[in-house]
Structure 1
Amino acid sequence: MARTSARRRRPDRGRLRAATRSTLRASGRLAARSTRRLGRVARQTFRASVATTDPTAPPLPARPARPRVRRRFAPGAGPGLPVLAIAGLMVAIIAMLGVERVTGISVLPDQITAGLRPPPKKFPVLPASEPVELTIRTIDLRAPVHSVGIAADGSIGVPDAGRAQEAGWYDQGPTPGQYGPAVIVGHVDTTTGPAVFHELKDLRAGDRVEVTREDGTVAVFEVNQVQRFDKSELPAGEVFGDFSRPNLRLITCGGRWVGGETGYADNVVVFASLVKTHRT
């Protein structure tokens, strides 16, 4: 065997430095994406449930985006426990993702890594455009959609009682077809009879939901599952935290009637994913 074939080549230091810089940049992008996602989920936890509408308290209008203001900490003030906790969580996530890449073994829960791992199959993605109509042929539903904001109690607003046959798109989140969960809410009934989402609980996995948008496109979603959650224990991360692909959440009230400010005890949530689009 020739001597040259037995010698090991010395590593190229320039390539090593370039690979190191590339890895650091990738980690930085990963941390930024994760931080934004965790921030969105955290903000949603304070207004996750959908309340039964009080006719005397209609939802508040959409709030315009406020300019960001840089705030300085007072001398001697630390970042605080929440900031340190998020920073620690980010370091742990990045480290465990590195372990996954090296070993090929998944060590992080799917709820945390939604949006970080590649999705299981291809899907379309649409630009922003507000929804105008909702169609679910399985339950013979066709209804107008208008935007709703945040209710006075901090929950997601719903259409007022006079528009109980319409659905409301939560305008602080993605539009249907964008990355993330677009949220559309509606009443289950009123004092005079069934409302727009009365049959929502009857949907099953595989059913199709079509959302017509202002730009003339129709986003077609496929139902993954239908679940019912106690309003006081609605899991914000599970419902609002999946930014791995364009999703849809249809939410209404359900369960037993308890009256008072709560109305129905539960929220019925339909989980659906975008599978195709077409033009009207």
Structure 2
Amino acid sequence: MGKGRLSGPLAVMLIAVGGLATFAGILQKGGFGPDDVPPPGRFPVMEPSRPVEIRIPSLKVDAPVHDVGLADDGSIEVPSLGRHNQAGWFENSPTPGQYGPAVLVGHADTRTGPSIFHDLAKVRPGARVEVVRRDDSVAVFEVNSVERYKKADQPIDKIYADFSRPALRLITCGGEFKGGSTGYVDNIIVFASLVEARDD
């Protein structure tokens, strides 16, 4: 969530105010998992295990992953500036490989230069994203699409509440840089689906 040219706080809201009610409703239902998940289709489903590393070969990204939670305003926290080259896994979302969308966030840049997700918009459909998990397994995802939304106009259900299969969302900032409390006006979001589960 790069806001590298700002003089104020660098945390960025990932969820627009208009979508907070929907988002809060999902959390109040016991997290992101539905009461009844559909039976497995032609794809793997993995047991819970927290992510520890993300690899995006096409972008030459290989970086640690740590947990992030909710900020005071109800948005997803972003990694601290001291960890701007790490991704943050939203701990209220499924772990990568479980049913539903695992959510990983990261900065695009800082005052000192590019950060972990600086080139996220360059990912192409079909690219692979590997997430190494604490149990030494690897969840391998294939990118379905890369989309850009205004922060005030995001499809909350599509991003956070699609439990049709194990999935991944990678989120960073993009678009025009406004500065102030706004920073970048858009979010870049990678949508990906689990295609393989293997040992590291």
- Aligned partners of 1:183 and 1:213: how far apart in 2? 14
Shift of 1:152: 2.2
Given candidates 104, 117, 121, the residue that maps to 1:184 is 104
Report Cα offsets for 1:198-231 as digits up to 9, x if no partner: 0110001100000000001000000000000000
Segments of 4+ in structure 1 off by > 2 A? 50-59, 115-119
SS of corresponding position for 2:121: helix
Tell me, yes or no, if structure 1 residue 122 matches structure 2 residue 42.
Answer: yes
Moved more, 236-245 or 203-212: 236-245
- Aligned partners of 1:151 and 1:169: how far apart in 2? 14
Tell me, yes or no, if structure 1 residue 148 matches structure 2 residue 148.
Answer: no
Shift of 1:269: 0.2
Q: 2:123 maps to which residue?
A: 203
Question: Which residue identity lines up with residue 165 of structure 1 in the other structure?
Answer: N
Tell me, yes or no, if structure 1 residue 174 matches structure 2 residue 94.
Answer: yes
TM-score using structure 2 length: 0.81
Q: 2:192 maps to which residue?
A: 272
SS of corresponding position for 1:232: coil
Q: CA-atom RMSD, angstroms?
A: 2.2
Tell me, yes or no, if structure 1 residue 163 matches structure 2 residue 83.
Answer: yes
Report Cα offsets for 1:241-275 as digits up to 9, x if no partner: 21011000000000000111121000000000000
Question: Which residue identity lines up with residue 197 of structure 2 in the other structure?
Answer: T
Q: 1:63 maps to which residue?
A: none
Shift of 1:138: 0.5
Q: Note if contact 2:58-2:123 (Cα within 8 Å) is conserved in structure 1.
A: yes
Flag the structure with higher helix content. 1
Q: 1:249 maps to which residue?
A: 169
- Aligned partners of 2:38 and 2:111: how far apart in 1? 46
- Aligned partners of 1:116 and 1:279: how far apart in 2? 25
Given the superposition, is the C-alpha separation of residues 142 and 275 from structure 1 closer, same or farther in structure 2, using an over 3 Å criterion? same
Q: 1:68 maps to which residue?
A: none
Given the superposition, is the C-alpha separation of residues 160 and 171 from structure 1 closer, same or farther in structure 2, using an over 3 Å criterion? same
SS of corresponding position for 1:212: strand
Shift of 1:162: 1.2
- Aligned partners of 2:177 and 2:3: how far apart in 1? 10
SS of corresponding position for 2:147: strand
Question: Which residue identity lines up with residue 188 of structure 1 in the other structure?
Answer: A
Question: Which residue identity lines up with residue 138 of structure 1 in the other structure?
Answer: S
Shift of 1:56: 5.1
SS of corresponding position for 2:102: strand
Unpaired runs of 5+ residues, structure 1, are: 1-49, 60-114
Count of residues paired in the alignment: 175
- Aligned partners of 2:155 and 2:56: how far apart in 1? 25
SS of corresponding position for 2:152: helix
Report Cα offsets for 1:142-201 as digits up to 9, x if no partner: 010000001122111110111110000000110000000000000000000000000110
Q: How does 1:123-138 map to 2 (within 5 A)?
A: 123-138=43-58
Unpaired runs of 5+ residues, structure 2, are: 13-35
Q: 2:144 maps to which residue?
A: 224
- Aligned partners of 1:154 and 1:223: how far apart in 2? 28
SS of corresponding position for 1:206: coil
Flag the structure with higher strand content. 2
Higher gyration radius (CA): 1
